[in-house]
Amino acid sequence: MRFFGRIKDIQPAGIDGVIIYFSGDTLTDKNDAVQALARGLRAQRLTWLKSLIAGYDSLLVLFDLQRADVHLVYRTLKNTQPREAGADEHSHYELPVWYGAPSANDIAVVSEKTGLSEDEVIATHLRQQYRVFTVGFSPGFAYMGETSESLSCPRLESPRKKVPAGAVAIADRQTAVYPNESPGGWNLLGLCPLPLFKADGSQPITLRAGDTVNFVQVDEATFRELADKHG
Amino acid sequence: MAEITLLNSGLQTLVVDAGRQPQAQEIGFCASGAVDLLSFELVNWLCANPLDTPALECIGEVVFSVSHAMEIAVGGPAVSVQQNGDEVSAWQSINLAAGDTVTVSPRRLGTKSYIGLGGVLDLPAIKGSKTIVTREGVGGIHNDGKSLQKDDTLPVAVHSIQAMRELEAHEIPDYTLETPLDVVVGYQQARFDNWQQQLFFASEYTVSNDINRMGYRLTGQAIEVEPEEMYSEGINCGAIQFPPDGQPIVMLADRQTLGGYPKIGCVADYDIYRLAQAVPGDVVTFRAIDADNARGKWLLWHRLEELIFDSHPNSSHPETEQR
């Protein structure tokens, strides 16, 4: 892969930041390039590198102003080989979901919007492995995709004031788990019993850009058991 | 362990420090930390602390008492300080005796006063920071993100009283807004046409009532930007984003890590403290600067700050903790 060719644009992002935009045929392609460059940069253990914040199709590089300037960053980017994911670089998670949990159930709405039966909605969501494109909005909120085209589903017309913690949701061709109770406009499919955010910072699961996720269906009894164990 | 008891917590009192480890933003934690890092570092220096030691960030009049003798320092725009009812100076170390009561009152409502404490607050640290982040429900006495309330007590491991330190008049931060805020243009700047960019840099913007630690919403000349779908991307501190109404929002310490509004650039690091100390009704202007010049100014600005920190004959240089 001629990597620098995947870079569409590089712009300053503040005094200590540079943001890189990527081209690609699909969102997954673009995000592949984001992740590959992030891995290539991390592998060099650059002393001036403060943080790499992945977006869907962009990478924000924050650097230490005492040790680097934009020219050094550009030069480094030019000489950085993208890296395919090493076996131990990203985690894979299987997230249990109680589909149709009463406090998080828009399956009928999704069925109506997509033309799939309610069972097909669940089966389609379960069938695929998803990749974490980016994490943000709030701690632990992982934007995953892409869902099957057939499950593509617009956001709710008016966002809910309260989405429960653990709600598993879809919007457009993305899926996510709400780490804590918050407002939100995504369509809810069920509840995940594993905490993705804890105020003490000790969340058992920390989703990072590049990680992969499969959803696994559980019944209410298993959900309650898991929720008790991890509460 | 010594205790600080809040007798009046003003409009908002938070524990703040230099913010989380920057990598925490990769998993969605906001940067957090003091919004006016300059004043925050100076009060720490006055207390002979490492510069990233947790301090109090207060809006409105705040009153507290201490259970043990300890050193404090107060700074901020036009702030007056009373020790047991007697006026004492801001921007100097103040030695308190056990039982002393301190009143901190800013002249203008809405500015942030910083209270440096000669010791370390014993509070939970999340991702390397003890800053209270109300938006995330993180930090503070119960680690629930609640701002400090009247009658709250904060445990603090005090250090021994150090030699007196004070700032010279010219070392006190200049909070005035007459000089434009420097903006490193970037991000989606190419989507703003030339005329709109000129309009932005030539216009005066008023600080609205809709301001907090996440960001400052300004009102004034609306700026048009070519509509184009964009994906959420990383937001650096000081980023100036334009929602569809064309009124700028400048993102600050508690900003969300990702956002999808077009941005014209970022307010330079060294000018953010001035904006963070602006209050509703204040007027700000912006001027474009390229990244090289901005870094040059930043390095000079830091050198001047180091000169203050190195100036004290009886002090060792306070090392910032490596994070």
Number of neighbouring beta carbons within 10 Å of residue B306: 11
At how many degrees (to 10) do helices B37-46 and B291-310 cross?
A: 20
| CA–CA gap between residue A49 and residue A45 (Å, rounded) | 8
Identity of the residue in A50, A56, A70 whose CB atom sits nearest the CB atom of B291: A70
- Give yes or no: residues B99 and B235 share one domain: no
- Give yes or no: residues B201 and B136 share one domain: no
- Give yes or no: residues B95 and B188 share one domain: no
Identity of the residue in B25, B124, B137 whose CB atom sits nearest the CB atom of A53: B25
Distance from the Cα of B230 to chain A's closest Cα (Å) equals: 9
The range of the structural domain enclosing residue B200 comes to 181-289
The torsion angle over the Cα atoms of residues B77, B83, B86 and B89, rounded to 10 degrees, is: -40
Give me the residues paired with residue A49 across strands.
A63
In a domain, B319, yes or no: no
- Give yes or no: residues B164 and B51 share one domain: yes
Residue B118 in contact with residue B71, Cβ under 8 Å?
yes
Query: Is the pLDDT assigned to residue B3 strictly greater than 80?
Result: yes
What are the angstrom distances between the C-alpha of B148 and each of A37, A202, B1, B77, B265?
43, 24, 19, 21, 34
- Give yes or no: residues B203 and B86 share one domain: no
In a domain, B79, yes or no: yes
| pLDDT confidence of residue B315 | 47
Query: Is the pLDDT assigned to residue A4 strictly greater than 60?
Result: no
- Give yes or no: residues B28 and B98 share one domain: yes
Mutation for A interface: B23, B214, B257, B299, most A CBs within 10 A: B257
- Give yes or no: residues B169 and B193 share one domain: no
In a domain, B160, yes or no: yes
Closest to B233 (Cα-Cα) out of A144, A55, A38:
A55
Looking at the structure of chain B, the number of domains it has is 2
- Give yes or no: residues B280 and B259 share one domain: yes
Q: Exposed, middle or buried by CB within 10 Å (0-12, 13-18, 19+), for B270?
A: buried
In a domain, B320, yes or no: no
- Give yes or no: residues B61 and B34 share one domain: yes
- The H or E element that residue A229 is part of is helix A220-230
Q: Tens digit of pLDDT for each residue in B143-198?
A: 999 999 999 999 999 998 888 999 999 999 999 999 999 999 999 999 999 999 99
- Give yes or no: residues B166 and B186 share one domain: no
Structural domains for chain A: 4-79 (3.30.1360.40), 92-230 (2.40.100.10)
In a domain, B296, yes or no: no
ipTM for this prediction: 0.93
In a domain, B268, yes or no: yes
In a domain, B318, yes or no: no
| pLDDT confidence of residue B130 | 97
- Give yes or no: residues B109 and B254 share one domain: no
User: Which CATH number is B281's domain given?
Assistant: 2.40.100.10
- The H or E element that residue B74 is part of is strand B70-75
| pLDDT confidence of residue B162 | 83
Grade residue B320 by pLDDT with cuts at 50, 70 and 90: very low
Q: Which residues of B touch A27 (CB under 8 A)?
A: 231
Residue B168 in contact with residue B307, Cβ under 8 Å?
no
In a domain, B301, yes or no: no
Question: Strand A212-217 to strand A92-99: parallel, antiparallel, or no bridges (unpaired)?
Answer: parallel
Q: Tens digit of pLDDT for each residue in B20-77?
A: 999 999 999 999 999 999 999 999 999 999 999 999 999 999 999 999 999 999 999 9
- Give yes or no: residues B19 and B166 share one domain: yes
Total residue length of chain A: 231
The torsion angle over the Cα atoms of residues A174, A179, A184 and A185, rounded to 10 degrees, is: 20
